Chains A and B, each alone.
Chain A
């Protein structure tokens, strides 16, 4: 791979970045988000920024993008310069892409959204539309200019965001975990679009990402931030990955070729000729002729199910992984199995072992009946936070069930949340939020655990903890249903895979 062109095409002048003793403290925080950073990035460099969560990677990116200014009470230390001038005053020199695809879209028509940034920079009208076409072409979005942005997939939305950034002709492209919420196809889509645009413009790149393999071939330099402040390691990807491999693994970075070690199942059920061995796994939930939809059906307006004619069983001590392409209805199936959506066709039946006199239809259970039997962990942890601090959050389930809170201490320790008991759940890091959301559901001791993309955007440490915890639960006889794109995760859990395709369903046993 050659070094990127320093003299960009398309009128882009690659930007230089320099930080001198730079730091940032958000208002109301006792600790600085980032401190004593000394770093110089030459024009045209492609930097992969790594570091444990809480090292201030996102804060640095936001500061470079000039969007930290809204916090009046915050304090800034040292200097952060783009092309020798303060980053905050360099409107339009950089473009930032964030994690959440829905927050990247500003306007409702594709072309207008791409034009938005260029308009704000007072680019003349004729020039704007030339740039819109070029940018859409560069990211490979070949759709009409009046295509509604709400109808794009996650990967397309991120590419649209990239096109909007390109239309501004920034010398510095900042990507903050741009692929964390995407399926494997979406990840490649976005990565390739970024590479194409860099080759074309020669712009400087700074990307934050846990999964090194995605960017290892693109980056010309890896910078690892120290949690306390400053730079830990800085060098070419090959050197950094060789010398600091162990350290990076310790920090939870997904180094290429590395799969975290996890506790494997002690006594996994074997599946021979499609049948299960002896005592393993009594049936807890069974679905027959199941059709699912997020829309409510009524007698006059029956809905067309997203998935129809599905039959599956959820067994104690056995994992069921639901896989398949985006938009095929995986989450909808899981929510229906979890008693959160009514079956659009067919039925979901809880066995007597599970329902314990609450009735066979999980959707008809009360909230308390549900959480003691089936626990569902949503993709976005924030959706499930219902109290103001971590401890209350964990006690919430047991209190509703009138149970003791003895399990809570165990979960706090197990998921490394002990030091956070007084913290507001919304202020936690991504990994902490994920661990808390799993712990809150487990606190009610459900027999069936349903998880929607539990490993999306997680660092390797949280990943390994989750996987280990789930194999323990499986050994103890809990059933685990997970919707996932994560092949490694599916492999660790074992059990069965329910693979959904637009035209068929395949159920198979995993070795």
Chain B
């Protein structure tokens, strides 16, 4: 019996463990302690108000306020940029297009053949960029500071939505992470049967279609087993108690007040500076 080859290895257990998209580290920010419903209400109020008007004044006020309270969500600005860059990019592209196509009012700033920017068109473009970001941010703050389990608790306990649907959706959401992993395994398992290939775009595309169907089959089978587990734990009755209490407290008064103040300030700024530009005109 011979023993040879002793090599250095590094073990990274986490790479072989299952992923769970909703089990990202819980936010430790101040806002994480607020009731998800009050955050939802505040975010909705501000978002709806900003949807009413396209102007730079209301958007700027809202954006400044949002960035000020952003640290309370427990997410660093760096993480925000990493997660939110598609929105930033989309807002910039939208703003550029608007500046290019908006009515050419005011003095000409740039005249470069078909590219003409005037003071008026640039203002419209800037308003679109700011508005886009200001509308997206409340949603990001809400998601970053809210645990899906807490949201489910408050939807069922405070809003009295049917608990069977809320908890069913929560359990299904957890499966999404498992499905991502399953997708990778399925790709390899099917290649081992000779389906599809690593080579060429078309090869990969056709392989993906069949793999999608296979994933669907696996998703249903897993969901069936999970449903049996939930049922075996007594799920599905008319009554249930809640181990976690979804509370409404002083912090929620602050959240709602902040929502109302930011919304009011934004709209006031637009009217005071005569930039109020409702979408319906």
Residues of B within 8 A of A151 (CB): 14, 17, 23
Stretch at the interface among B80-88, B131-139, B181-189: B181-189
Most buried by B among A295, A307, A331, A384: A384
Q: Would you give the shortest CB distance from A415 to chain B, in whole angstroms?
A: 17
Which residue of chain B has the shortest Cβ distance to A111 in the bound complex? Answer: B243
Known A-B contacts A108-B22, A151-B17; the reply to A384 vs B189 at CB < 8 A is yes
Instruction: Flag if B20 contacts A327 (CB, 8 Å).
Output: no
Which residue of chain B has the shortest Cβ distance to A393 in the bound complex? Answer: B193
Report the contact-size class of chain B (Cβ under 8 Å from the partner).
Answer: 35 or more
Question: Does B259 belong to the interface (CB within 8 Å)?
Answer: no
Q: Once bound together, how far apart are the Cα atoms of A482 and B55, in whole Å?
A: 66
Q: Once bound together, how far apart are the Cα atoms of A202 and B16, in whole Å?
A: 37
Instruction: Flag if B221 contacts A65 (CB, 8 Å).
Output: no
Instruction: Flag if B243 contacts A112 (CB, 8 Å).
Output: yes
Q: Once bound together, how far apart are the Cα atoms of A121 and B228, in whole Å?
A: 16
Residues of B within 8 A of A511 (CB): 1
Instruction: Flag if A67 contacts B232 (CB, 8 Å).
Output: yes
Instruction: Flag if A441 contacts B13 (CB, 8 Å).
Output: no
Instruction: Flag if B229 contacts A104 (CB, 8 Å).
Output: yes
* B185 contact from A92, A293, A383, A396, Cβ within 8 A: A383
Stretch at the interface among A124-132, A233-241, A472-480: A124-132
* B7 contact from A96, A310, A377, Cβ within 8 A: A310
Which residue of chain B has the shortest Cβ distance to A374 in the bound complex? Answer: B192
Instruction: Flag if A507 contacts B9 (CB, 8 Å).
Output: no
Known A-B contacts A304-B12, A505-B9; the reply to A108 vs B174 at CB < 8 A is yes
Question: Does A456 belong to the interface (CB within 8 Å)?
Answer: no
Instruction: Flag if B240 contacts A119 (CB, 8 Å).
Output: yes
Instruction: Flag if B192 contacts A375 (CB, 8 Å).
Output: yes
Residues of B within 8 A of A426 (CB): 217, 221
Q: Would you give the shortest CB distance from B214 to chain A, in whole angstroms?
A: 7
Instruction: Flag if B7 contacts A120 (CB, 8 Å).
Output: no
Q: Once bound together, how far apart are the Cα atoms of A332 and B12, in whole Å?
A: 12
Instruction: Flag if B194 contacts A148 (CB, 8 Å).
Output: no
* A505 contact from B5, B23, B214, Cβ within 8 A: B5
Which residue of chain A has the shortest Cβ distance to B10 in the bound complex? Answer: A308
Which residue of chain A has the shortest Cβ distance to B231 in the bound complex? Answer: A67
Known A-B contacts A274-B4, A397-B194; the reply to A327 vs B17 at CB < 8 A is yes
* B235 contact from A62, A102, A116, A397, Cβ within 8 A: A116
Residues of A within 8 A of B280 (CB): none
* B222 contact from A103, A112, A120, A129, Cβ within 8 A: A103
Most buried by A among B188, B225, B235: B188
Known A-B contacts A103-B226, A311-B5; the reply to A383 vs B239 at CB < 8 A is no
Instruction: Flag if B232 contacts A95 (CB, 8 Å).
Output: yes
* B199 contact from A293, A312, A364, A508, Cβ within 8 A: A364
Question: Does B242 belong to the interface (CB within 8 Å)?
Answer: yes
Q: Once bound together, how far apart are the Cα atoms of A419 and B193, in whole Å?
A: 23
Question: Does A222 belong to the interface (CB within 8 Å)?
Answer: no
Instruction: Flag if B20 contacts A149 (CB, 8 Å).
Output: yes
Known A-B contacts A271-B2, A308-B8; the reply to A96 vs B17 at CB < 8 A is no
Q: Once bound together, how far apart are the Cα atoms of A151 and B19, in whole Å?
A: 8
Which residue of chain B has the shortest Cβ distance to A129 in the bound complex? Answer: B243
Residues of B within 8 A of A306 (CB): 10-12, 15-16
Which residue of chain B has the shortest Cβ distance to A296 in the bound complex? Answer: B184
Which residue of chain A has the shortest Cβ distance to B15 in the bound complex? Answer: A306
Instruction: Flag if B237 contacts A120 (CB, 8 Å).
Output: yes
Residues of B within 8 A of A440 (CB): 193
* B11 contact from A120, A161, A444, A502, Cβ within 8 A: A502
Question: Does B268 belong to the interface (CB within 8 Å)?
Answer: no
Instruction: Flag if B4 contacts A95 (CB, 8 Å).
Output: no
Known A-B contacts A106-B171, A122-B241, A340-B188; the reply to A386 vs B232 at CB < 8 A is no
* Chain A 493-509 near chain B by CB (<8 Å), digits 1 or 0: 00000001111111111
Residues of B within 8 A of A161 (CB): 229
Stretch at the interface among A11-19, A77-85, A135-143, A365-373: A365-373
Q: Would you give the shortest CB distance from B33 to chain A, in whole angstroms?
A: 14
Which residue of chain A has the shortest Cβ distance to B5 in the bound complex? Answer: A507
Q: Once bound together, how far apart are the Cα atoms of A446 and B17, in whole Å?
A: 31
Question: Does A117 belong to the interface (CB within 8 Å)?
Answer: yes
Instruction: Flag if B194 contacts A371 (CB, 8 Å).
Output: yes
Interface set, chain A 286-300, CB cutoff 8 A to B = 293-295
Known A-B contacts A116-B233, A338-B192, A383-B186; the reply to A308 vs B244 at CB < 8 A is no
Question: Does A7 belong to the interface (CB within 8 Å)?
Answer: no
* A386 contact from B15, B149, B193, B225, Cβ within 8 A: B193
Which residue of chain A has the shortest Cβ distance to B182 in the bound complex? Answer: A383
* Chain A 328-364 near chain B by CB (<8 Å), digits 1 or 0: 1101100100101100000000000000000000011
Known A-B contacts A274-B4, A504-B6, A511-B1; the reply to A146 vs B185 at CB < 8 A is no
Which residue of chain A has the shortest Cβ distance to B238 in the bound complex? Answer: A122
Interface set, chain B 162-208, CB cutoff 8 A to A = 170-171, 174, 177-178, 184-186, 188-199, 203
What are 29 sample pairs from A and B whose C-beta atoms fall under 8 A apart?
A100-B225, A102-B222, A103-B225, A103-B226, A107-B170, A111-B243, A119-B240, A121-B234, A122-B237, A150-B18, A150-B20, A150-B177, A273-B2, A305-B10, A306-B11, A306-B16, A308-B10, A311-B5, A370-B191, A378-B185, A378-B189, A383-B186, A383-B218, A384-B190, A386-B193, A396-B194, A504-B9, A507-B4, A508-B2
Enumerate chain A interface residues (CB-CB to B < 8 A): 62, 65-67, 70, 91-92, 94-96, 98, 100, 102-109, 111-112, 115-125, 128-129, 132, 146, 148-151, 153, 161, 164-165, 168, 271, 273-274, 293-295, 304-312, 327-329, 331-332, 335, 338, 340-341, 363-364, 366-368, 370-371, 375-378, 380, 382-384, 386, 396-397, 400-401, 426, 440-441, 444, 500-511
* Sample of 4 more A-B contacts, CB < 8 Å, known A102-B222, A103-B225, A146-B26: A108-B20, A117-B234, A274-B2, A441-B193
